[in-house]
Amino acid sequence: MSDSLWRHRDFMVLWSGRTLSEVGDAVSMLAIPLLAVTVLDASAVEVGVLAATRMVAYLFLSLPAGVWVDRMRKRRVMVVCHLARAGLVATVAVGAWAGWVTMAQLWIVALLSSVCTVLYETAHQSFLPSVVAGDQLLDANGKLTTTYSVSRIAGYGVGGALVSALGVARTVGVDALAYVVNALSLLLLRRPEQPPAVARGRNFRRELGAGLSFVFRHPIMPRLVAASASLNLFSQMIFALAVLYLVRDLRLSEHMVGVVLALTTLGGIGGGLVSARLARLVGTARIIWIAPLGLGWTVLLVPAAQPGWGPIAYTAGMAGLGAVFAIYNAAAISYRQRVCPPDLLGRMTASVRWVIFGVMPVGALTGGLLGSWLGVRPTLWVAAAGVWASGLLLYLSPLRRWRDLPDEAVAPDGGQPPTRLPAPHGRSPVDPAGKAMGGVRGG
C-alpha cells in the first residue's frame, strides 16, 4: 500500500497550484459572462458563442496536442500555457477598465485561451502518473475532482462579491494573477520528469493514429467515450445559458448569481470525496452507469425552477450534476490512465478528449441557438433529459454485467489492447493461456 497523498510533497504542490488556478478560473468564468450579459447586453446566441469559443480548440487541436505533448516535457508545456492564459485574461481586464471591451474581443480571448487549455489539460493528465504511484491514481483524481468543485465555490462566491465591490475589470485581473502563481508552483516540484522517448523516423500521422487506434479498438473505452460525450453535450447546453437564465428568468442580482453558482458545486465536492470509496464498494464498472442514472434525474429541477423558490431548485439540480461528473470522471479517468502504456498517455488522452470535449462547443452553441428559438426554459428541459439519458448508453451495454473493470491491460505486439472484457462479479479476467490478469486494486 502506498503512502497517503497527504504526505506526498510533490502531489501536494501540484494540487495546491491547481487549486489556486481553478479559483481564479472560476472568477473569470463568472465575471466574463456577467460582463457580456450586463454590460454588453449579449443575446442568448452571443452567450452561446462565447461559451463555445472557450472550448472550440478541442475540435481541431486535441489530436495533434497528444502527439506534441508526448514529444515534450509535460511540466514545461503546463508552465507556458499558464503564462499565456494569464496574458490573455489580462487583456480583458484592461479592456473592461478602459471601456473599449467588445464581444469580438471576448470571443478572441476565449478562443486563444481554449488552445492553451487543451495543451495544458492534455499535459496535466499525462503528467500525473509520473508524480504518483499507479495505485494512488484513483485517490489523486478524486482529490483533483474535489478541488475543481471547491474552487468553483470559492471562485464564484468571491467573484460575485468582487464584481459588486470592485467591478468587472479588477475582478478579471484576479484570474491572470492566479495563472502566474500556478505556473511558478510547477517549478517547485522536486521529482524529475522523465524525458520524452526519442524515436527515429517519427511519423506524425502514424503517431496520431496510434492514439486513436488504442482508444477505439479497446474493448471498454469506446463505451466510456460515447457516454462522456453525451453527458458533455447536454450539460454544456445548460452551462451556456446558466448566467442568462439566473439573471433574466430567475431575476437574481449579480451577487446572488455568484452565490448560487458557488452552492451548486457542493455536489461535486461530495462526489469527489466519496468517489474512490464508492467505486470500491459498488464496483468500478457499476459505478460508471449508476452515477448518471442514479443522480442525473436531479438536473430536471433546473428547468422547473421559478422566481422566488427557484434558486433552491436550481442549486439542487446542478449540485446533482456536479456529483455525477465527480464520481463518473474519477473512475473513468483513472481506468484510462492505468490501462494505457506510458508512451501513449498523451495521445490516448488527446484522442478521448477530442471526442468528449469536442462536442462541448457544439453543445454550448446548440444551447444558445435553441434558447433563442425555443426559449431558455424549454431548451433546459431538453438538455436536462439528455443528461439523464446519457447513462442509458452504458446501462444498455455489456458494462452492466460486470462489477469491476480490469486493473490493467497487457497490449500484444502492435500496441493494441486485448479484446476481452472483465470477468463478471469482480473475478479476475483470464487470458487464453489461463493466466490471471488481476483485479482492481484499492486506492
Query: What confidence score (pLDDT) does residue 234 get?
Result: 94
193 phi, psi to nearest 5 deg = -80, 135
Query: What confidence score (pLDDT) does residue 438 get?
Result: 27
Q: What's the average model confidence in pLDDT over 287-315?
A: 87
Q: pLDDT, tens digit, for every residue of 144-168?
A: 766 766 777 777 777 777 777 777 7
The reported pTM is 0.62
CB 431 within 8 A of CB 423: no
Query: What confidence score (pLDDT) does residue 417 get?
Result: 41
* DSSP symbol at 256: H
Q: Give the closest residue to 301 by CA, choosing from 289, 291, 309.
A: 309
Q: Please tell me the number of Cα atoms within 13 Å of 404 on its side-chain side.
A: 20
Judged on CB neighbours under 10 Å (0-12, 13-18, 19+), 294 is middle
Q: How confident is the model at residue 2 (pLDDT cuts 50, 70, 90)?
A: low
With a cut of 80, say whether residue 179 has pLDDT above it: yes
Query: What confidence score (pLDDT) does residue 279 get?
Result: 77
Helix or strand run (H / E) with residue 281: helix 266-282
- Choices 1.20.1250.20, 3.40.50.740, 1.20.140.10, 1.10.30.50: CATH for 5-188+206-413: 1.20.1250.20
* DSSP symbol at 55: T
Query: What confidence score (pLDDT) does residue 135 get?
Result: 67
430: three-class secondary structure by DSSP = strand
Q: pLDDT, tens digit, for every residue of 314-340?
A: 998 998 888 888 888 877 777 777 777
436: three-class secondary structure by DSSP = strand
Bigger pLDDT: 214 or 285?
A: 214
CB 20 within 8 A of CB 80: no
Query: What confidence score (pLDDT) does residue 414 get?
Result: 37
Query: Which range has the worst mean pLDDT, 13-22, 62-71, 193-202?
Result: 193-202
Q: How confident is the model at residue 192 (pLDDT cuts 50, 70, 90)?
A: low
Residue with cell 467588445: 102
Bigger pLDDT: 366 or 26?
A: 366
